[in-house]
Amino acid sequence: MARKKKPEVPEKPKSKDPAAHIEGAGIIERQNITDTLETNYMPYAMSVILSRAIPEIDGFKPSHRKLLYTMYKMGLLSGAKIKSANIVGRTMQLNPHGDAAIYETMVRMTTGNETLLHPFVESKGNFGKAYSRNMAYAAARYTEAKLAPICKELFVDIDKDTVDFVDNYDSTMKEPVLFPTRFPNILCNVNTGIAVGMASNICSFNLREVCDAAMGLIRNPDYDIADSIKAPDFSGGGSIVYDRAAIDAVLNTGRGGIKVRAKYTYDKSGNCIDITEIPPTTTSEAIIDRIIELAKAGKIREISDIRDETDKTGLKITIDLKRSVDYNKLMRRLFKLTPLEDSFPCNFNILVGGSPVVMGVKDILVEWLAFRAECVTRRTFHELTGAKDRLHLLEGLQLILLDIDKAISIIRGTELESDVVPNLMTGFGIDEVQANYVAEIKLRHLNREFILKKLEDLEDLKAAIADMEDILAHKRRIDKIIVSELKEVSETFGIDRRTDIIYDTPDEDEDVREDAAPDYPVRIFFTREGYFKKITPQSLRLSNVQKLKDGDGIVLEKDSTNNASLLFFTDKCSAYKAKVSDFADTKASVLGDYVPAVMGFDPDEKALFAVETTDYSETLIIFYDNGNCAKFPISSYETKQNRRKLVGAYCPDQTPVAVFAVKADEEFVLYSSSDRILIFNSAAILMKSTRTTRGVAVMKQLKGKQLVSAKRLSHCEFKDPSRYRTKTIPARGATVAAQDIGEQLTFAPDASDD
């Protein structure tokens, strides 16, 4: 009987996913986030801190050092400038980053960019300007550069084992770990870096002042560096508003803020202000944009035009003034309202021994002096070793001088070349190094004159060796060398201060507060939904039809001035202070500014009422829904500091219904949900001193009823007002008379505060 064939099983189709053939592919493993951070993130963070963003004691980041060292090896310390593209390409042998990053690093160090107080690269072509964000630098193929003369002080003795060298990223070249700079470059040029979890922002100081301070510390460790270093000195000039506490904080701790102010001149013939120097933290475009913004908002009306007249001669911002404008007072206001006066934040975070440390100026100088002393020591030891080797050779040559003929006969009598050196060693009792030196002397030099000339410096060499050994043995000798080098650098490259020091007076601040904005008449509007508008009389004459949101209504309409103060009361028992000038002039055809957004209200916080005052001399009257009324001076909201938000603006246990600011006692009309009306005079209420007072009961409420609104009597029309008037409080009021039914229909809050 024939056996049945087994049915063929179709082969499973092979997966097209290459990962399907990889062992372990597709397996998901759980890993603690802390392990991931330690394995992946921390090495990256440390690399950014140590190898990219934070400068070291020589004043350079690795990117700066690689670029300058490449230029030094290219021989650009002397000679003509070459194309920047060539420099960038050669630097990529040391710097693994792209050419764009390398070129941007070079741009910042050039004389043309004007970022550094002492630029390291002499440039030709357009390298942009540090004070302008729109003046972009040209491509590397168009510009040329070479090292500036001051770089000589960076590379001096770099080939004399003064610093360590390490392999580059692919181990094909050597590069220095630090530069043996002969002056405290770390403090003489601005340096900014943002690492991971930390940053560095070092301002520049005057080279002469820094060198004087360093020399003072060498002579006396307790030297007060403030006697030499008065304040920072920026490449862009400007003026430092002197604050002794702030300066001391920077000098002692390395942290703090330095207030820098722009410099300007007044051109009487053109009635204009020329700004020629600005703080290092801003740009000319940012200043112009801010002034235009203030002018459009109506906060500055003295300016007729502003333009950027920067050219090859330097920065220049021209502000044209209107007639009879006090330019000094205007500039004081601009200093407060624009980046023409700005604070330079100091954070002297540098790498010391591979660790980031925030240090004051004195500590940085002490650390640099220790670094420079090590460089001098290593240089002296290197020179001493070379001098001893040369002395050793000359001593061997001196023995040859005793019998030149013998040396010649030994060489001539030696059959094999390899035996010349051993035979000389045996014949004169010299070692192999000395014998090799003698054997390499040319035949034309085997005369007495040549040998005597070589031996002339023997005694001087011995004296030099003794001197170098004395230097290594006495730290005071090293200090004297550092002082002499600092004096030389200071005399050669020192420049006068570019940033002046001015002493501000309190009177200026008072003037600015008083004249923070021009004063002119306006009419203000505040709506139930929280919109605010200020409109000039000229604009109102064109149109007085106010645009409002559906269901919205005006609760405050009053003639005021641009310098008046405003109080916005919210449903969170807070009051927000503002100036009318904080809001832009507008028209009746727009909704206006939404107060919660402009004033920075808390989430879900709404504006209920607004009150206007010019001198905080009025009395504030608040009506609550339970029929109480609080009366206290509005001056309780006045503060010496420029605080915007005031908590505890009214009694937190009650709900306000209406708020009024009055010069004198007035009659008010109260409306209850029980269809009752009460007229009373605010003189019947005693003045309280605190704004959180519960007030006095004025209108008694039936159970389940409450006060709905309150108005000034002058804004209401009654056939017989005496029907609702009372002489004693509290009172329930009277029901609405038939002839006053129309008035009952307007129980909404007061629509005017005139």
Q: Collapsing DSSP states into helix, strand and coil, what is residue 479? A: helix
Strand 341-347 to 255-261 pairing: antiparallel
Q: Scan for tokens 């503002």, then name that residue.
A: 578
Residues linked to residue 263 through DSSP beta bridges, in sequence order: 277
Helix (H) or strand (E) holding 670, with range, is strand 667-672
CA distance 4 to 247: 102
Give the max Cα distance, the chain.
150
* SS3 readout for 387-428: HHHHHHHHHHHHHHHCCHHHHHHHHHHCCCHHHHHHHHHHHH
Q: Collapsing DSSP states into helix, strand and coil, what is residue 514? A: helix
131 is catalytic: no
The string over 313-346, giving b where at least 16 C-beta atoms fall within 10 Å of a residue's C-beta and e elsewhere, is: eebbbbbebeeeeebeebbbbbbebbbbbbebeb
How many H-runs (helices) and E-runs (strands) does the chain carry?
21, 33
Nearest to 741 by CA among 677, 685, 689, 681: 677
Q: Would you list the DSSP string of 707-727?
A: EEEEEEGGG---S-GGGTB-S
Name the active-site residue from 41, 44, 142, 169: 142
Two tokens, residue 20: 């399907």
Nearest to 686 by CA among 669, 665, 713, 667: 665
CA distance 748 to 211: 76
Two tokens, residue 673: 């949900």
CA distance 498 to 495: 8
In one-letter notation, the amino acid at residue 701 is: Q
Length of the chain: 754
Residues linked to residue 535 through DSSP beta bridges, in sequence order: 523
Nearest to 516 by CA among 347, 300, 346, 237: 300
* Catalytic residue annotation: 142
